[in-house]
Amino acid sequence: MPMEQQFTIAVNQLGYRSKDAKMAMITGESAGFRLVDHETGKVVWEGQTRPAAEDAASGITVSRGDFSAWEQPGTYRIEAGDGQSSYPFVISEAVYEAAHQALLKAFYYFRCGMDLEEKHAGPWKHAACHLAPALVYGEEARTIDAWGGWHDAGDYGKYVVPGAKAVADLLLAYECYPQAFQRAVPVPETDGATPDVLHECRYELEWMLRMQDEESGGVFHKLTTLRFPGPDVMPEDDTAELYITPISATATGCFAAVMAMAARVYAPYDSAFAASCLQAAERAWTWLERHPEYPGFRNPPEIFTGEYGDEQDMDERYWAAAELYRTTGESRYHEAFGQYARQDSFDKYELGWADMGGYGTISYLMSAREQEPELAARLQAGLQQRAAELADVSLQDGFGISLRPEQYIWGSNMLVMNHAMLLLIADRLSGSKAYERWALEHVHYLFGANVMGMSYVTGLGSRPILHPHHRPSEGDGVEAPVPGLVSGGPNYGKQDDYAREHLADRAPAASFADVMESYATNEVTIYWNSPAVFVLSHFV
């Protein structure tokens, strides 16, 4: 099936806040452009695009039309000199509220082990799934009742490491922007007292607690079937045997970190739950101390579901020490953090599931606990340097984002949102707004200001993703996909058959296909949604 052509005029299809910088990306050489009232057809503002430039990532010439000066609320479109027009968009002070709600509500749709009732799920309802106890792989006589939690992605696996990243992003969003979560997202547990985001995270945290080995304190890596089900199989129809894979150091380190974080965040709302999280974190830390060197996780030979393998566990240990110190104030965790911080074997500013070092750095720098001045200064300087590098790449990029051509990898939209998140946190810790503008350009990109001219989020924008690699969206018989899901986005690696066949000649940023078959470009996951929730929390 041939792919559609890319955009002519790309805008954020949701819109722009009145005082924000506003750019339209226009294919081709410099020319005049017009801002048109979409209701009346009246031209309200005119301007000239900036000099056109070749954009390495997208492989095209891009001009940028700046209409930041226009602040009047309304619904508009951009027209170019050749008569081409953008999708309509609004200028308003409430551009991102509905998107923020949808991105968070998506986690409810990822829930495993319970009925998603029509009252809360609408047409995307389905029955409870994956309730059978799971066999512990290699211990065939042992089962664990590890129901609940979130499906990880377009499949029905549940994985501790990426789950910890997703929860961390959401809890950080709540810590930084509690006012963003004052409106409830309708889910069964909403009680009016506990913020909606904490209800949602708790559903995943309680599953993670079931994944801790009662005897050793180590944490099992994942829970899946032996193989993925077919592409249109609904969750309740995926009835193959469930398996829990062996303990891993990366899962145990992430678990210790996120449970220590949860103990701090939930303490004002449920002290008993907070205490159980801290106890679990400390038991996991003890396991880490007893296993200072542990082999990286690999799938057992019979299991062919997502591996999330990672040979490097120093970043997870670093993050765990930071969170345990921030929550407890105990010197032993501070000392351990310092020891890990002085190692050069891992990146201390990344926020991906395989590179958790950034969470440790952020936790330490945000903590009110006593800090080692030289260490804190070095970490702060490194964070600001990384943010400056991202801003510099954004300045050179035709669409204003911080991805170099080689960074359009599997899940590139996670990098887009991770980078925006890092830019905002760098601002927060420096007390400035130096990088807010660039973070917002990443938001514009996600919602349509990109070479594909698409909103990479289901249900949002004039031209959203319609066919994500997401089994419930494929199998539920509903025409529209589950809303609020962030697509993985362009992937120059093209690791699926569809992408290899249909996207062979595409530039990195254009290597995308809105089809179910292209899991390498169009899958969805909880940890692509979570940094997007964080970033939009800043702008609501």
The mean pLDDT value for 209-225 works out to 98
Cα–Cα dist 331/269, whole Å: 27
DSSP H helix total and E strand total for the chain? 16, 14
Confidence of residue 453 (pLDDT cuts 50, 70, 90): very high
Query: Is 100 within 8 Å of 537 (Cβ atoms)?
Result: yes
Residue type, 341: A
The more confident residue out of 170 and 183 is 170
Q: Which two tokens stand for residue 402?
A: 């911080």
User: How do strand 60-66 and strand 139-144 relate by DSSP bridges?
Assistant: unpaired
Confidence of residue 190 (pLDDT cuts 50, 70, 90): low
The pLDDT, as a whole number, for residue 3 is: 43
Cα–Cα dist 116/126, whole Å: 5
282-300 confidence digits (pLDDT tens):
999 999 999 999 999 999 9
The more confident residue out of 13 and 7 is 13
109-156 confidence digits (pLDDT tens):
999 999 999 999 999 999 999 999 999 999 978 999 999 999 999 999
Residues acting as catalytic residues: 155, 469, 514, 523
Nearest alpha-carbon partner for 330 in 372, 357, 370, 299? 370
Is the pLDDT confidence value at 395 over 80? yes
30-87 confidence digits (pLDDT tens):
789 999 999 999 999 999 999 999 999 999 999 999 999 999 999 999 999 777 899 9
The pLDDT, as a whole number, for residue 344 is: 94
Residue type, 425: I
The pLDDT, as a whole number, for residue 2 is: 36
The pLDDT, as a whole number, for residue 194 is: 86
Is the pLDDT confidence value at 108 over 90? yes
Share of the chain above pLDDT 90, in %: 93
Describe the strand order of the beta sheet including 23-27 as a list of residue ranges: 9-10, 23-27, 60-66, 53-55
Confidence of residue 184 (pLDDT cuts 50, 70, 90): low
The mean pLDDT of the chain is 95
The pLDDT, as a whole number, for residue 1 is: 35
Confidence of residue 353 (pLDDT cuts 50, 70, 90): very high
The pLDDT, as a whole number, for residue 141 is: 87
Cα–Cα dist 86/293, whole Å: 55
Q: In CATH, what class is 97-371? A: mainly alpha
Any residues with CB less than 8 A from the CB of 167 and at least 6 apart, and which?
201, 204, 205, 208, 258, 261, 262, 530
The mean pLDDT value for 508-516 works out to 97
Is the pLDDT confidence value at 467 over 50? yes
The mean pLDDT value for 306-315 works out to 95
Question: 370-375 long-range contacts, Cβ below 8 Å, gap at least 24?
Answer: 370/334, 372/334, 372/338, 375/338, 375/341
Cα–Cα dist 33/26, whole Å: 9
324-336 confidence digits (pLDDT tens):
999 999 999 999 9
* Among the ranges given (96-100, 185-189, 437-441), the one the predictor scored with the smallest mean pLDDT: 185-189
Confidence of residue 191 (pLDDT cuts 50, 70, 90): low
Share of the chain above pLDDT 70, in %: 98
Torsion angle defined by CA atoms of residues 238, 243, 244 and 250, in that order, rounded to the nearest 10 degrees: -70
In whole angstroms, what separates CA 36 from the centre of its chain?
Answer: 34
The pLDDT, as a whole number, for residue 165 is: 98
Residue 303, helix vs strand vs coil: coil
Is the pLDDT confidence value at 399 over 80? yes
